[in-house]
Chain A
Amino acid sequence: MDPVTIGLIVQFALRYGPDAAEALVALFHKTTAPTKEEWTALFAKARAHATAQSYIDEAGGLPANG
Chain B
Amino acid sequence: MRRLRRISVAVALVLAFSLTQACTSTAAFKATSAAVTAVDLAMHGWGEWVHAGKSTPEQRATVEKAYGAYQAAIDVAEKATFAYYANAEKDPKALRAIMEAVTQAGISVIVVVNSFRTGVPPIPVPTAGG
Contacts and interface: CB of A to CB of B under 8 A. Distances in A.
Contacts of B9: 4, 7-8, 11
- Determine the main DSSP class of A at the interface with B: helix
Interface in A8-64: 8, 11-12, 15, 24, 27-28, 30-34, 36, 38-39, 42-43, 45-53, 55-63
Interface in B56-110: 60, 63-64, 66-68, 71, 74, 77-78, 81-82, 85, 102
Contact of A34 (B6, B25, B34, B55): B25
A62 B26 contact: no
Interface residues of B, number: 46
Q: Secondary structure at chain B's binding surface: helix, strand, loop or mixed?
A: helix
Given A11-B9, A51-B68, A30 B47 contact: no
Contacts, number: 108
Nearest to B84: A39
A27 B47 contact: no
A54 to B, nearest CB: 8
26 contacts: A7-B9, A8-B9, A12-B41, A27-B33, A28-B30, A31-B26, A33-B25, A34-B26, A39-B81, A39-B82, A43-B77, A43-B78, A46-B39, A46-B71, A47-B71, A47-B74, A49-B43, A50-B71, A52-B43, A52-B66, A55-B43, A56-B46, A56-B50, A59-B48, A62-B53, A66-B55
Interface of A: 4-5, 7-8, 11-12, 15, 24, 27-28, 30-34, 36, 38-39, 42-43, 45-53, 55-63, 65-66
